[in-house]
Amino acid sequence: MAMADHVVMERDGRVAVVRLCRPEKKNALSLSMLERLTELAAEFAADPGLSAVILTGGPDFFTAGVDLFDPRYANLSNLSLAEKRIIMEIAPRACRAWEALPQTTLAAVEGFCVGGGLSLAVSLDYIVMAESAWTRAPEIDWGMNMSWGTLPRLVRLIGPARTKRMIILGEKITASQAAEWGLAQWIAPDGLALEKALSVARIAAGKPVAPAAMTKETVTALSGALDRLASHMDRDQFLLSVFDPEAIQRLTGFEDGKNKDSA
Catalytic residue numbers read 139
Select from 98, 45, 52 the least CA-distant residue to 202. 52
Sign of the Cα pseudo-torsion (77, 79, 82, 83, in order)? negative
For 202-241, give the DSSP string: HHHHTS-HHHHHHHHHHHHHHHTTTHHHHHTTHHHHHHHH
32 strand-pairing partners: none
Cα separation of 110 and 89, whole Å? 28
3 state DSSP class of 69: coil
Helix (H) or strand (E) holding 245: helix 245-255
For 19-61, give the DSSP string: EE--GGGTT-B-HHHHHHHHHHHHHHHT-TT--EEEEE--SSE
Query: Are 89 and 239 a contacting pair, CB within 8 Å?
Result: no
